[in-house]
Amino acid sequence: MGMSNYNKNLFVGLGGKDAIDLSHFIGACYGMERMMGRADNPLRRILNRAADDFLQKLPLVYILTVIGPAGNSGGLALRGLFIGNDEECFNAAAKLSLEVNFTLVPRPIQKAVVFLDRDEFKSTWLGNKSIYRTRMAMADGGELIVMAPGVAKFGEDPDIDALIRRYGYRTTPEIMEFLKKALELQKSLSAAAHLIHGSSEGRFTITYCPGGLTREDVEGVGFNYAPLAEMMERYPPSEMREGFNDNGEETVFFVSNPALGLWAVRDRLMREGEDQGGGGEEEEQAPVQI
C-alpha cells in the first residue's frame, strides 16, 4: 500500500505481527485508493516520525531499486537505483516508481479482465492483487472479471481461510462493525485489512472465476461467480493483449499479471496526487481485435 520499502522494511518488516497488523489496518482504514502511488500518506508519516525519533543514531544506508518492464520483451529490468540515508532518497525512488510502474488509462474502465497465473496465485489472499491494483482505474458500476485457474482457497493458512469464509470481502463500514464484536478479527488486524482490500466498496462488481472453489464458496464471501472454462473461452489470455481489447461486441481491458503493475485513470491520479511526482503523458491505446 502506498510506496513500499525504505523505513517500512525496518518498522514493519522487522517489527513482528503487531507492526504488520497495525500498518496494514491503518492503510486499509485510510483507503487503498488514497494510498497507492502516494509517497506522502498517513502511514508513511507515522513511519517517518518513528525514524526521526528512534533511528537517527543508527548508521543506516538505504539501497532502493525501481524495477519496471523491459521494453517489449515482456521481462523486467532495473530502472533506477537510489542510495541514501534520508527521506529525499525515498521520495526520488517513489517518483520514478510512479512513472515506471503505473499504467495510466485515459478513461475509467467499464470491464476489466485479469488473469492469474496458475502457479503464482493459489489463494484469493494473493489473487486479490487483481482487485486492489486495478481499482483506481475501474469505473463506477463497472465489472472486474478475475480468471484464476490456480485459486483453490481463500487464505494461505487454515485460520485465515476460515476468517475470510466467515466474514467475507465486505465494505469498510461492515468490517468495522464486525471488529466491534469479533475478538478473532481484533486479534488478526491483517486479516481485517485484507477483507477491506478485497472489496470494491460497492463501486464496481467483482466476478471471480476460480479453478478450485465452488459457486457457493465464491458467493459466500461476497463476490459474483462465473465458470472458469466459460470465461477462458470468451477471453482467451493467449489472444488478448495488455490494455484495451475489442472483439466487435465489447471493449475489455486485459491485465495478464496484476503483480507487475498498478493501474489508474490518468486524471484521477494526477488530480489527487499531483504533488507526488508526475506519471508522464501517455497516448491512449488503440483497441486490438480479438
Cell for 35?
A: 494510498
Domain ranges of the chain: 8-102, 105-269
pLDDT at 284: 41
Residue type for position 224: N
What predicted TM-score, i.e. pTM, was given to this entire model?
0.81
Residue of 246, 286, 279 lying closest to 264 (CA atoms) = 279
pLDDT at 287: 40
pLDDT tens per residue across span 214-259: 999 999 999 999 999 999 999 999 999 999 999 888 999 999 999 8
CB 46 within 8 A of CB 7: no
Residue of 108, 99, 132 lying closest to 31 (CA atoms) = 132
CB 52 within 8 A of CB 290: no
CA distances from 282 to 106, 133, 285 (A): 8, 19, 9
What parts of the chain have a pLDDT lower than 50? 1-3, 273-290
CB 206 within 8 A of CB 146: yes
pLDDT at 289: 37
CATH number for the domain formed by residue range(s) 105-269: 3.90.226.30
pLDDT at 276: 38
Torsion of CA 173, 186, 157, 228, to 10 degrees: -10
Residue type for position 288: V
pLDDT at 272: 53
CA distances from 55 to 16, 24, 125 (A): 17, 22, 33
pLDDT at 35: 76
Residue 289's SS3 state is: strand
CB 283 within 8 A of CB 105: no
Number of H helices, E strands in the chain: 14, 11
CB 111 within 8 A of CB 250: yes
Residue 118's SS3 state is: coil
pLDDT at 74: 63
Q: How many CB atoms lie within 10 A of CB 45?
A: 10
pLDDT at 282: 36
